Structure formats: C-alpha cells, structure tokens
Amino acid sequence: PAIAGGRRLVSRDLSGSVDSIYGLNGPNPDLIKFSLDGNTNFTGTVSLVAMAVLVLASVLSIFRRFGFELWYIVHIGGALLAGWYAFIHGADELGAVLVWWAVDMGARYVLMAGVLYPHKASLRKLPGDIVEISFPKPATFEYEAGQYAKISIPRIGFGQFHPITISSSPRDPVVTMHVRGLGRWSRRLGKLAERQEEVAFLMEGPYGKLMIELENRKRYKMVLMVSGGIGVTPMVSIANDLLYEHQSERREVKKIKFVWALRSVELMRAMADRNAGITGGANVLDPKSASEVVDLSVYLTKCTGAVDEEINDIDAGVTKSGRPDMDEIFLEMKRAAREAGEAHIAVCVCGPSKMVDACRQASRRFSDGVFTRDGV
C-alpha cells in the first residue's frame, strides 16, 4: 500500500484481508466501485440491495395488489439471493436458517400439498361473484373453526398459494371455501368456475388461531359475532361449530348474536345456500333451520326499492336496512348476559378496519372492569 507522510492512504474492505483504494480514506474514494471491489464487498452489497428491495416491495402494498405474481417471484428470489450472498459474505449462522427454510418448504409444499392432501376440488359459481371451492374432507386434514389454508390452482397461477378462509365447520364431511372476485387471481377463478366444475389444486395448512379462548366452555356461553361482507366466512365456520357442540350437548351455549353487514342480497343468498353439513341440519345464516340460541341480524348497507322486495323473500325479520349500531348491539348483549347470569361475552369480528375498530372501542366501553373479574 502507498504511504504518504507516514499515513496509510488506503482502507481495508469489510473482510480486512484485501486493501481497497476506493475506500473513504483511500486515494480514489468511490462508493460504487468500493461496493463491488473484492469478494466480501461485492457479496455484502448484493445481500443489502436484495433486502432493501424486499422491504420496499413489502411496504408499498401497490405491488401486491396490482402485480402479485411479480411481487411473489421477487420476494422469493430476493430472499434466497439475500440469504445466500450473506452466507458467502461471512454470516455463517444463516446456513442453519437456509437449511431450516428448506425443511419448512419441503414439509408444506411436498408433504402437505403433494402427498397428504387432495389434488382435486369442485368449483361452483354462486351469485354475487362468489366461487365455492369444495372437496371431501380427508382424514389427514384437521382444522379448527376460523382457520385458513393456502391453495394453489395451477390453471390460473402455477406456484401461487393464496390464503383462503375455511367456511365449513370442522365436523362437516366436506371442506368448503368461498372466494369473492376482488382481485386478479380471484376474478380468474370466477371465470374458470364458469367453464369447469372440477380442477386440480394444491393446498397447505391450516393456519391461524383465534385471539380469544373460545374453547373455554365454562367462561364463554354468550358469543357476539360481527362480520362485514365476505368476512362472514370464518364467522360461519365458528358459529356452526358452536351450534354443533350445543346441539350434541358437548357445551352449553346460551346465545349467539350473529351480526352481518353487507351491500347486496346476492352475497347472503350465496352463503346461505351452502349445505349445513352435519351440524344437526342447522345453518346460522338460515333463520328456518338455526337453533333457538341464534339471534341473526343482517344489515343491507345499500338498500334500494328492488332490494326491499328481495328482503321479504328471504326473511324480513332478520334483515334490516342501514348500518349496524354497535353501541346498541353491545348494550343489548350486555343486558342479555346479565339476565342469563353470565359475566363474560366472547366477541369475534371480521370485516373492514372501521368495523373492527368500532367493535374494539365498544368492547372497552361496555366492559365493567377490563382488568378485573367483573366482566360485563
């Protein structure tokens, strides 16, 4: 290395083994050349850039909404690139992470999707741009109410696994999922369902866990369920599972208040049309077959004269116009719980963020002692 005035003019790269004249303290400072100068600098730069692209693509949701396929490829490829070059760079610990990642991928995509689970599913186009995906429940597929699975249909996106909530009860002999045409992939699925009744598909999962201990049968005998639009799918699964346990005398359920806000009657018809499975012939969305413990309220947020006539065809007693008043609903449940001698109400909600926030605020407002045992 060159010496001037007794001072070294070059700096060493990150590995400390090879001098670089492009360092900040070198004779020819150049950030770009320094980033690519030498094996250690080059691998570190590639890994850093790959991670930066991953973060940027994840933060900006526009990439996932309008270019999911490209986002997915970039995300997987970028993660592998960042991990591999970081390993070469000197982060030896990442070797174990990459091995564990490979084991996880093998378990999910090879064992689950390729071996244990069915490879064929039935498609049915329903009103409201809804597609029902169904298949006989195999003994190898166990799930809880409210969970979701990731599915891939090669005809409309090979290698793309999309998270879809399971709408059937865990005890139903047929697993069902309902998808509404909201994005590019789901709209392709709708067009496919118009042409084919059966497709090849892959599945992995199930995933997810309720944030409330609904399995606590002694604590929660009163349940309030609020959903918006297609967010009703996990609520239907949970409610029908509770109905089955109540009717089979496995647990006591005193009341299920089921609130559903949606824009069109078509979506209600589509969801109520599904088979009730083995839940004693009861479907929480069917007022004629549901148990006496169910209090169903359906709110049509966009109601016209034509829709008013259709309401009477369904059930005018459970269907209302406008948006649900959360304060009124929570206060009603609180009174019912006190009359029934219950101190706790389980609240489950799935819908738009405004609806979730409204339920969260109402839960806090109408709870008597959040940090005590006073309950409602």
For the stretch 145-189, pLDDT in tens is 989 998 888 888 777 788 899 988 888 888 999 988 877 888 888
Are the C-beta atoms of residues 11 and 23 closer than 8 Å to each other? yes
Over range 282-308, report the average pLDDT.
71
Helix segments in the chain, DSSP class H: 31-36, 39-59, 62-66, 68-89, 94-105, 184-195, 232-247, 265-272, 305-314, 326-339, 353-365
d(CA 253, CA 236): 16
What pLDDT shows up at residue 330?
Answer: 92
Q: Quick one: pLDDT band at residue 15, thresholds 50, 70, 90? A: very low
| Closest alpha carbon to 122 in 168, 158, 160 | 168
Instruction: Round the average pLDDT of the chain to a whole number and report it.
Output: 78
pLDDT of residue 294: 86
Q: Tokens for 104?
A: 């996880």
pLDDT band at 282 (very low <50, low <70, confident <90, very high): low
d(CA 244, CA 282): 8
Give the whole-number percent of the chain exceeding pLDDT 90.
Answer: 12
